[in-house]
């Protein structure tokens, strides 16, 4: 890097360390608008300067002190940011959003971001939409289905809209193809026409993610004894036959084929795709056993479940005997192009274990799985050094969260390619995983087993030499070699749980540091100076952060009961 750039860099770091982010003004909205419309008008190779410009606007911006979400204490921020995040999802859905024009964005269409250029994310991605609608479903459940009619109709509009998307001919194929190839199309225009530019297609995670979301909505209706209100959709039977079943057929016919990954870059087999497909088959089978008329279809679901599971656990290489973590794309490890470490593995685990909706123990790589925990800890270990903004966390004895990106070798900067950065969805997922881990321990009253596989992770939170023998469960010598089993409910157990909860919060604190003064989130934040970049108001960022808050609350509610 040239000297003057370096100097500029240091200068920026210096300025941002001095800078106090509040300037009082009554023009907050105009300036916010100017700020927003400036995002994205800079060429991709200037993303660094882009950050500087953002900084400039921040210096001049303009939120009353009491409205500045970043100045709130952590607990207040969590409450406020949760609301902003929920609203951030709704703002990007056609028919509900006050900002989107219905002639441009179909009712029930979820756009990835309102950004129309540099980058243009003004599209409906099947993945982003399915994942973010799931947050709305959780919201309904958390509210015991009370006063949620508006959200219910948004979810049903999303489901109806997907009926139309499924049947659109597109560059991946057609709905009526023998193997339903059209369902592998990753994205559509906001107005429900096909997107026809070159793209990384097909992406085979879409149908499974959509099926998981729609099925979880159907199980919610059943749980709270509610009916479908949307006239077009009529009934759970219609939704199953016309929308869910085609997606299940797609998985049955295509799971073993290569496709593009969730980051839309590599045509191969991917852990994220496989594990979410497996869950879709499991959830699909549960409903099919109640309403499917064709026994042969049930048989096909069962066969697919067991073949795909075998593929995931053995044949694919997602689990590699030489590595402690999940390998997201084994072909890239084999060709020496990548380590295999990837936030897609963290997301895959979260998106395939709907813990509170049922028993997911037959789906591998849940939050208590050693490979999953080791994936998280290897990501943290790598990115602590990789991203300069994390360097102040080097040398901490206790575990502390750092900003996480997609994968070590990433070069997508949110506009084009230069250098990869931390992402909100990755950082939030780390927090969610640890909260879910704690929740699961409590729920199943599990002892904590520390073994050779996971001890590097746990040693950040507990001093093994100081554990009182009464807190340790004695196990038959041959059962766990070299394992320390910490007794459920013991003092050591409680201390460990508390330390893990604050570890989890430390990832959220990073998010707090990088949202804007209103709590808005784009896709990434710059690895040097920390200012946001990439598509603004990314629906998925809002959803991922909202989900982490939700698991935080669920876990804190039970933490004192250990
Ligand atoms: C856009 C994709 O959405 C993103 O995931 C990818 O990294 C870049 N294209 C690569 O250019
Ligand atoms: C790029 C991400 O890599 C991809 O996962 C996402 O679907 C799109 N952006 C839209 O947000």
State CA 244 to chain mean position distance: 22
Task: Give me the percent of the chain exceeding a pLDDT of 90.
Answer: 83
Q: How far apart are CA 136 and CA 242, in angstroms?
A: 22
Provide the pLDDT for residue 367: 96
Q: How far apart are CA 549 and CA 260, in angstroms?
A: 30
Q: What is the pLDDT of residues 374-394, one digit of tens each?
A: 999 999 999 999 999 999 999
Provide the pLDDT for residue 35: 29
Instruction: Read off the pLDDT of each residue in 473-497 and give the average, rounded to a whole number.
Output: 85
Q: How confident is the model at residue 12 (pLDDT cuts 50, 70, 90)?
A: very low
Instruction: Read off the pLDDT of each residue in 474-487 and give the average, rounded to a whole number.
Output: 77
Establish whether residue 120 lines the binding site of ligand 1, counting it when its CB lies within 6 angstroms of any ligand atom: no
Q: How far are the Cα atoms of 363, 377, 535 from residue 324, in angstroms, in the given order?
A: 19, 10, 34
CA-closest residue to ligand 1 atom 8: 412
For the chain, what is the mean pLDDT?
A: 90
Q: Return the best residue to mutate from 110, 125, 329 for the ligand 2 pocket (most ligand atoms within 8 A of CB).
A: 125
Establish whether residue 546 lines the binding site of ligand 2, counting it when its CB lies within 6 angstroms of any ligand atom: no
Establish whether residue 121 lines the binding site of ligand 2, counting it when its CB lies within 6 angstroms of any ligand atom: yes
Q: How far apart are CA 271 and CA 410, in angstroms?
A: 17
CA-closest residue to ligand 2 atom 5: 263
Provide the pLDDT for residue 65: 83
Contact 180, 246 (CB under 8 A): yes
Residue where the block lists tokens 């597109």: 170
Active site residues: 261, 264
Establish whether residue 271 lines the binding site of ligand 2, counting it when its CB lies within 6 angstroms of any ligand atom: no
Q: Residue 221 pLDDT > 90, yes or no?
A: yes
* Ligand 1 atom showing the smallest separation from residue 410 Cα: 7
Residue that wins the pLDDT comparison between 154 and 28: 154
What is the DSSP-derived secondary structure letter of residue 17?
H
């Amino acid at each position: 890097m040239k000297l003057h750039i370096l100097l500029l860099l240091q200068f920026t770091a210096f300025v941002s360390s001095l800078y106090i982010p509040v300037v009082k003004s009554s023009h907050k909205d105009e300036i916010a608008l100017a700020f927003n419309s400036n995002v994205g008008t800079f060429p991709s190779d200037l993303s660094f300067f882009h950050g500087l410009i953002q900084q400039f606007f921040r210096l001049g911006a303009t939120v009353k002190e009491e409205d500045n979400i970043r100045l709130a204490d952590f607990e207040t921020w969590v409450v406020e940011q949760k609301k902003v995040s929920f609203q951030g999802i709704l703002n990007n859905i056609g028919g509900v959003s006050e900002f989107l024009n219905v002639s441009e964005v179909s009712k029930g269409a979820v756009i990835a971001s309102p950004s129309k250029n540099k980058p243009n994310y003004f599209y409906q991605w099947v993945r982003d939409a399915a994942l973010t609608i799931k947050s709305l479903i959780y919201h309904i459940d958390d509210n015991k289905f009370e006063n949620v009619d508006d959200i219910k109709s948004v979810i049903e509009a999303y489901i109806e809209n997907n009926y139309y998307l499924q049947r659109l001919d597109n560059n991946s194929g057609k709905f009526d193809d023998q193997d339903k190839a059209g369902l592998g199309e990753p994205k559509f225009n906001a107005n429900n026409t096909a997107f026809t530019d070159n793209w990384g297609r097909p992406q085979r995670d879409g149908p499974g993610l959509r099926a998981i979301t729609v099925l979880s909505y159907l199980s919610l209706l059943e749980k709270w004894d509610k009916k479908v209100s949307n006239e077009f959709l009529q009934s759970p039977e219609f939704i199953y036959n016309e929308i869910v079943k085609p997606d299940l057929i797609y998985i049955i016919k295509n799971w073993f084929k290569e496709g593009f990954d969730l980051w839309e870059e590599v045509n191969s087999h991917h852990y994220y795709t496989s594990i979410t497909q497996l869950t879709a088959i499991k959830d699909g089978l549960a409903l099919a056993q109640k309403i499917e008329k064709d026994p042969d279809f049930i048989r096909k679901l069962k066969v697919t479940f067991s073949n795909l599971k075998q593929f995931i656990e053995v044949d694919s290489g997602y689990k590699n005997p030489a590595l402690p973590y999940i390998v997201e794309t084994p072909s890239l490890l084999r060709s020496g192009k990548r380590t295999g470490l990837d936030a897609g593995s963290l997301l895959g685990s979260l998106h395939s274990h709907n813990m509170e909706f049922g028993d997911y123990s037959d789906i591998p790589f849940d939050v208590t799985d050693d490979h999953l925990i080791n994936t998280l800890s290897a990501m943290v270990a790598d990115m602590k050094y990789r991203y300069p903004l994390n360097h102040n966390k080097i040398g901490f004895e206790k575990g502390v969260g750092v900003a996480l990106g997609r994968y070590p070798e990433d070069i997508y900067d949110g506009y084009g390619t230069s250098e990869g950065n931390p992402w909100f969805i990755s950082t939030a997922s780390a927090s969610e995983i640890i909260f879910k881990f704690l929740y699961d321990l409590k729920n199943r009253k599990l002892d904590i087993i520390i073994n050779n596989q996971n001890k590097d992770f746990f040693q950040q939170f507990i001093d093994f030499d100081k554990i009182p023998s009464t807190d340790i469960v004695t196990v038959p010598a041959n059962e766990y070699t070299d394992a320390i089993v910490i007794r459920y409910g013991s003092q050591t157990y409680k201390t460990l749980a508390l330390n893990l909860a604050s570890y989890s919060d430390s990832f959220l604190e990073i998010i707090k540091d990088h949202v804007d003064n209103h709590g808005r989130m784009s896709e990434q934040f710059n690895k040097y100076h920390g200012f946001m970049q990439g598509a603004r108001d990314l629906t998925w960022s809002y959803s991922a952060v909202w989900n982490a808050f939700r698991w935080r609350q669920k876990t804190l509610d039970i933490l004192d009961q250990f």
